[in-house]
């Protein structure tokens, strides 16, 4: 469990008025400064004021980001941020200041600074906001991100003295942390995960852009179901029924006929009553779609995308991966090619595993007959046989969506492929060749009872220059959970929407 910012402080009660700047910018008396706290605080935040301050009395030096601290060794700088931790040793005080880019230890010696400024340091509470000015010096004892450098405090300006920050140094329960998600984001572990998430999304988009894909946005409010009607959120669209999108795929199929290779990226919504570590009600998905593409070519693309994303995270986030204690040797193993096994083969392997085990419980969990879709324990058992993601292709047509192409001469299976992540993270990608023949698609829509009217535009695509094509969807949160080694997707998104949670 993640712990919050540690803090120890033993001075400054609620009645104290310490939220004054150490020195008012007009050179005014400190008592006046206290009275002016609010207006000064606002002013400090303004860019113009910052420039003014630089010209006065040396309170503010060059404002830097803590991630760049090593470049400023020996120089006086100003950092702006929040108190992540404070350790008092009497006349010596340590502040761990975070500024969003990193963390730096700031050290206050009573003898070396103004008495009142020192008292402000002594009274600092967890998550109080302030500006600190002082000299950067290398010190191998200094913790931080990156660490190894600290700031000897010469002066500071308190913006706000925080009171009773709820996330304390000891462990907290999931419910408490999720109720305080807006504050939990400040904790190291959450900070690291969400930075990696951003890189994963950027890497996916960079790779696709470089491969000649075009980002083409698809609607969030849609007139018809993408797949099944039971899992949709309904929207009142000026008196008519509409739905929140659960996929952009059908629109992607229209878009490839205009642009060749496209992808959409956005939130999708599923009103499923799923309550597992792999499910969110609102989740983000990236969906590429390619004209003139076979299932084999689709697997090549997925493999290229996933290996690039993992490599980018390894290259850019060694610091964050260390912070969340991810075993990076497992990630370094993620290189092409990935194993490709058929559904038939997968069933045989699972039946073999079930036979091999003596544990009756495990035997029951693994039991599967041809034609059934994999359950969660089966998916995990299958993926455990590989130390890389594994492709499983040609699933039974009956368990897959209506638009997937049947295999020629063997219509009971279809040209579909899932990518299962290792370490029990399950399916992160689902994709297929799409049916491009009008008759067959119409038959399937009728068979599923979906109603042709709603799919007229989709059927049009098979009338005006239809071509073989394929595409897939990759779930961002599952990918982040796997790459970060998290046991639940709720930590992979800033504000998770779960079965019983829409707050904060």
Residues 252-281 that bind RNA (CB under 7 A): 270, 272-281
Does residue 14 touch RNA according to CB under 7 A?
Answer: yes
- Among candidate residues 366, 391, 376, the one with its CA nearest the CA of residue 424: 376
Among 26, 100, 138, 169, binds RNA (CB under 7 A): 169
* Under rule CB under 7 A, residue 298 binds RNA: no
Quickly list DSSP for 151-178: EEEEEEEEEE-----S--SS---HHHHH
Contact 99, 84 (CB under 8 A): no
Least separation, in Å, of the C-beta of 74 and RNA? Answer: 15
Rg, Å, the chain Cα set: 28
- Verify binding: residue 160, RNA, rule CB under 7 A: no
Displacement of CA 321 from its chain's centroid (Å) = 13
- Establish if 463 lies at the interface with RNA (CB under 7 A): no
Window contacting RNA (CB under 7 A); options: 172-180, 236-244, 291-299, 458-466: 172-180
Cα angle, residue 274 at apex, residues 484 and 421 outer, rounded to 5°? 35
306 neighbors 482 (Cβ within 8 angstroms): no
In the shown chain, the binding pattern of residues 320 to 359 toward RNA, with x for contact by CB under 7 A and - for none, equals: ----------------------------------------
For 327-475, where are the alpha helices, taking DSSP H only? 328-332, 343-356, 360-366, 376-383, 438-448, 456-460
Residue 102 binds RNA, judged by CB under 7 A: no
The nearer residue to RNA, 87 or 385, going by C-beta atoms, is 87
Q: Please, which of residues 224-253 interact with RNA by CB under 7 A?
A: 227, 231
Q: Is position 500 an interface residue for RNA (rule: CB under 7 A)?
A: yes
Provide the 3-class DSSP secondary structure of residue 106. Answer: strand
Quick one: 12 or 65, whose CB is closer to RNA?
Answer: 12
What six digits make up the tokens of 343?
A: 């559904």
Q: Are 464 and 142 in contact (CB under 8 A)?
A: no
Exposure string of 364-399, with b = 16+ CB inside 10 Å and e = fewer, is: ebbebeeeeebeeebbbbbbeeeebbbbbbbbbbee
Dist. CA 66–CA 45, nearest whole Å:
18
Residue 133 · residue 95 · CB < 8 Å: no
Among 110, 195, 340, 363, binds RNA (CB under 7 A): 110
Number of residues this chain uses to bind RNA (CB under 7 A): 82
By CB under 7 A, tell whether 68 contacts RNA: no
Q: Which stretch binds RNA (CB under 7 A): 136-144, 302-310, 346-354, 436-444?
A: 136-144
CA distances for 281 relative to 66, 269, 424, 486, angstroms: 36, 6, 21, 18
CA atoms within 13 A on the CB side of 16: 17
Exactly one of 283, 338, 343, 402 binds RNA (CB under 7 A); that residue is 283
CA atoms within 13 A on the CB side of 127: 15
The CB-of-430 to RNA minimum distance in angstroms stands at 4
Q: Which stretch binds RNA (CB under 7 A): 22-30, 339-347, 349-357, 374-382?
A: 374-382
How many angstroms separate the CA atoms of 302 and 291, rounded? 15
Asked whether position 111 contacts RNA by CB under 7 A, the answer is: yes
**C-beta closer to RNA: residue 227 or 289:** 227
By CB under 7 A, residue 125 contacts RNA: yes
Window contacting RNA (CB under 7 A); options: 53-61, 325-333, 340-348, 487-495: 487-495
As measured in angstroms, the least distance from the Cβ of 47 to RNA is 32
Q: How far is the CB of 227 from RNA (least distance, A)?
A: 7
The answer to whether 39 contacts RNA (rule: CB under 7 A) is no
Which of the ranges 48-56, 85-93, 217-225, 329-337 carries the binding residues for RNA, by CB under 7 A?
A: 85-93
The contact pattern for RNA, residues 414-443, with x = CB under 7 A and - = no contact, is ----x-------xxxxx-------------
Stretch that binds RNA, among 31-39, 161-169, 346-354, 444-452 (CB under 7 A): 161-169
């Amino acid at each position: 469990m993640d712990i919050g910012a540690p803090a120890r402080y033993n001075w400054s009660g609620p009645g104290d008025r310490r939220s004054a700047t150490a020195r008012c910018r007009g050179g005014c008396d400190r008592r006046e400064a206290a009275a002016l706290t609010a207006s000064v605080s606002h002013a400090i935040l303004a860019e113009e004021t910052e420039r003014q301050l630089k010209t006065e009395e040396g309170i503010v030096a060059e404002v830097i980001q803590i991630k760049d601290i090593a470049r400023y060794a020996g120089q006086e700088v100003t950092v702006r941020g929040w108190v992540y931790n404070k350790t008092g040793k009497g006349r010596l005080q340590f502040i761990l200041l975070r500024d969003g880019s990193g963390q730096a230890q700031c050290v206050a010696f009573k003898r070396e600074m103004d008495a009142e400024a020192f008292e402000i340091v002594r009274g600092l509470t967890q998550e109080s906001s302030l500006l600190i000015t002082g000299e950067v010096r290398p010190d191998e004892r200094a913790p931080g991100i990156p660490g190894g450098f600290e700031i000897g405090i010469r002066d500071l300006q308190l913006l706000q003295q925080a009171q009773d920050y709820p996330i304390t140094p000891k462990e907290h329960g999931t419910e408490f942390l999720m109720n305080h998600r807006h504050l939990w984001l400040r904790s190291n572990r959450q900070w690291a995960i969400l930075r990696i998430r951003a890189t994963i999304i950027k890497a996916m988009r960079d790779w696709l852009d470089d491969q000649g894909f075009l980002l083409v946005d698809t609607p969030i409010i849609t007139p018809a179901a993408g797949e099944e009607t039971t899992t949709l959120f309904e929207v009142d669209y000026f008196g008519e029924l509409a739905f929140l999108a659960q996929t952009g795929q059908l629109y992607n199929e229209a878009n490839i006929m205009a642009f060749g290779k496209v992808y959409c990226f956005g939130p999708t919504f599923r009103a499923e009553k799923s309550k597992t570590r792999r499910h969110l009600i609102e989740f983000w998905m990236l969906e590429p779609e390619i004209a003139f593409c076979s299932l084999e070519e689709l697997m090549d693309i997925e493999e290229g995308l996933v290996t690039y994303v993992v490599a980018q995270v390894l290259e850019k986030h060694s610091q964050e991966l260390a912070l969340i204690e991810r075993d990076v040797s497992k990630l370094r193993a993620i290189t092409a090619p990935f194993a490709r096994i058929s559904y038939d083969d997968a069933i045989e392997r699972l039946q073999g595993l079930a036979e091999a085990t003596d544990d009756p419980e495990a035997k029951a969990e693994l039991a599967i007959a041809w034609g059934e879709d994999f359950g969660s324990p089966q998916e995990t058992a299958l993926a455990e046989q590989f130390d890389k993601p594994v492709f499983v292709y040609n699933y039974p047509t009956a368990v897959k969506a209506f638009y997937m192409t049947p295999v020629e001469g063997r219509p009971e299976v279809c040209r579909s492929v899932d990518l299962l992540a290792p370490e029990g993270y399950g399916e992160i990608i689902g994709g297929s060749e799409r049916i491009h023949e009008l008759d067959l698609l119409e038959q399937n829509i009728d068979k599923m009872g979906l109603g042709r009217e709603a799919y007229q535009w989709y059927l049009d695509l098979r009338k005006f220059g239809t071509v073989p094509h394929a595409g897939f969807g990759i779930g961002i949160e599952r990918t982040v959970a796997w790459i970060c080694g998290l046991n639940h997707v709720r930590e992979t998104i800033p504000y998770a929407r779960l079965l019983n949670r829409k707050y904060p």
